[in-house]
Amino acid sequence: MAQLIGGLGTSHIPAIGSAIHKGLQQEPYWKPFFDGFPPIREWLGAKRPDVVVLFYNDHGLNFFLDKMPTFAVGAAPEYNNADEGWGIPTLPPFRGELDLSWHIINTLVEKEFDIVSCQEMLVDHACTLPLKLFWPEGDCPVTVVPVCINTVQFPLPKASRVYAMGKAVGEAIKSWDSSKKVAVIASGGLSHQLDGERAGFINKAFDLQFLDSLETNPEWATQFSIHELVEKTGTQGVELLMWLAMRGALTAAGPKVRRVTGNYHIPISNTATAVLALEAA
């Protein structure tokens, strides 16, 4: 059976891609954010995952407001990156892991999750930036299964529903008939609001409590309704649902995790940024 080795989380602000392209990682504005990644890259170098399952939210590239699935799973041999208008250089296609994709899809449907299966899928910065941040040199060394969660068009899935979906994905990974090592990635957040009267809103206290809960009490955030999470984190801060899905997946490897490293920094482009690595116990 496949080995579920751990979970990673990172913010995915488009400006990060521009900073990478321009080589600004050591500039004072960017350095506190990028300094969080070397320990994770060292861990990845030691663990060497073969595959990543990446929980992310699409920003209108593959889905739009007229057709927005709650959950969508990629089942493509490769995933093409397209420019969304941010001026970020596009990356070569990412290789898919078809066998795991269909195993996850079949498992989710069996567990009564209604999902969209995508045999073609464009991916945006929410997919490309985590992979570039974790593996900055050369081509991406892992195959990818993207799992898209709606955080854009209401109604959004409940936090408890997303956590349960993540658990089902983890169970699918653990039951996958393969000797490969798999990591799960959460892409998004944390607290931020980009528009309206609360534009620029950041809730540091909630963010830090949420990050701590992922290690010690992973179901903590499922007590809140979506509207409560929007109130506490901002309209775009609900991207923390990706982190809940990632943590839910890790429950398939056991009840406890070990925190490898983490970093929290505010603000980057009016967003609270975080990076976290959790090792399956």
Q: pLDDT tens digits, residue range 75-91?
A: 999 999 887 666 777 78
Report pTM. Answer: 0.95
pLDDT value at position 85? 67
* Among the listed residues 170, 232, 239, the one whose alpha carbon sits nearest the alpha carbon of residue 206: 232
- Residues 53-75 have a mean pLDDT of 92
In the chain, the number of structural domains is 1
- Residues 140-147 have a mean pLDDT of 97
Please pick, among 21, 59, 103, 192, the residue that the annotation labels catalytic: 192
59 in active site: no
pLDDT value at position 216? 93
Q: Show the tokens assigned to 66.
A: 């007229």
Please pick, among 12, 125, 227, 265, the residue that the annotation labels catalytic: 125
pLDDT value at position 84? 66
**Which of 11-15, 83-87, 147-151 bottoms out in mean pLDDT, i.e. has the lowest?**
83-87
Q: Write the pLDDT tens digit of every residue in 223-267.
A: 999 999 999 999 888 999 999 999 999 999 998 999 999 999 999
- Residues 139-150 have a mean pLDDT of 96
pLDDT value at position 101? 98
3-state class (DSSP) for residue 15: helix
125 in active site: yes
Size of the chain in residues: 281
273: domain CATH number is 3.40.830.10
What percent of the chain is helix, strand and coil (3-state, nearest 5)?
A: 35, 25, 40
Q: Domain limits at 25?
A: 3-280
CA–CA gap between residue 101 and residue 73 (Å, rounded): 7
